[in-house]
Amino acid sequence: MSSHAQSGFSLVSVMATMVMVSIVLGYSLNSGQRWLTERRAYTDRQRFAALVEQARLVSMITATPQRLCARGEAAQHCGQQWLAGAMLDTPSDSTLSASYFQPSPGVLLNGPATELIFRPDSAANMLNATFDFSTRYGSHYRLVLNRAGRPREEEHLESATPSASTQAP
């Protein structure tokens, strides 16, 4: 009889390896999803800032007020909340077409009022508005409009979690 040396992996070592690989994959998928959602919020803030700047410049060039409003259920009409996005509502006799903004999936848009009016004389705008782009992971990106309607992007903000000393018993 000849003895053969057994080589290979045992069932236990294969199962242990699979468990470790699945744990690493779970963490990396969650981190990847978080990164993707945060990038979407950052990009949405830039896209919305471009729409604000478009409204401001079109009002100055055409010498007509421009209305930037929360997008309603019907995409062609203004609504009551910014969650569905925004639209640059152009007058019906305008040669410009309406411009739309819709937040990416997983990004929430919150704003002050349901509409902003940009006037040709930027000193008459009197706009002070703050828009927050937040994710379910607690990240916030802020867009602040000054009185003249110029957008300013604020740095990435993490939502603060209460420390142990400030929590109620």
What SS3 state is found at 125?
coil
In a domain, residue 152? The reply is: yes
In a domain, residue 24? The reply is: no
pLDDT at 109 exceeding the cut of 60:
yes
**Domain extent for 105:** 33-158
Q: What is the pLDDT of residues 69-104, one digit of tens each?
A: 888 766 567 777 888 888 887 665 555 666 888 888
In a domain, residue 14? The reply is: no
Spatial separation of the C-alpha atoms in residues 13 and 7, rounded to whole Å: 13
In a domain, residue 25? The reply is: no
CATH number reported for the structural domain that contains residue 140 in this entry: 3.55.40.10
Q: How confident is the model at residue 19 (pLDDT cuts 50, 70, 90)?
A: very high
CA dihedral over 25, 37, 75, 109, signed as positive or negative: positive
How many CA atoms lie less than 13 Å away from 125 in the CB half-sphere?
A: 29
In a domain, residue 21? The reply is: no
How many independent structural domains does the chain possess? 1
Question: How much of the chain, in percent, has pLDDT values that exceed 70?
Answer: 78
Which ranges constitute the DSSP H helices of 9-163? Answer: 11-62
In a domain, residue 166? The reply is: no
In a domain, residue 81? The reply is: yes
In a domain, residue 37? The reply is: yes
CA dihedral over 164, 157, 105, 23, signed as positive or negative: negative
Q: What is the pLDDT of residues 110-167, one digit of tens each?
A: 888 778 888 888 666 667 888 889 888 888 888 988 877 888 888 766 654 433 333 3
pLDDT of residue 168: 38
Query: What secondary structure letter does DSSP report for 123?
Result: G
pLDDT of residue 17: 93
pLDDT of residue 21: 93
Spatial separation of the C-alpha atoms in residues 58 and 48, rounded to whole Å: 15
127: its two tokens: 């706009």
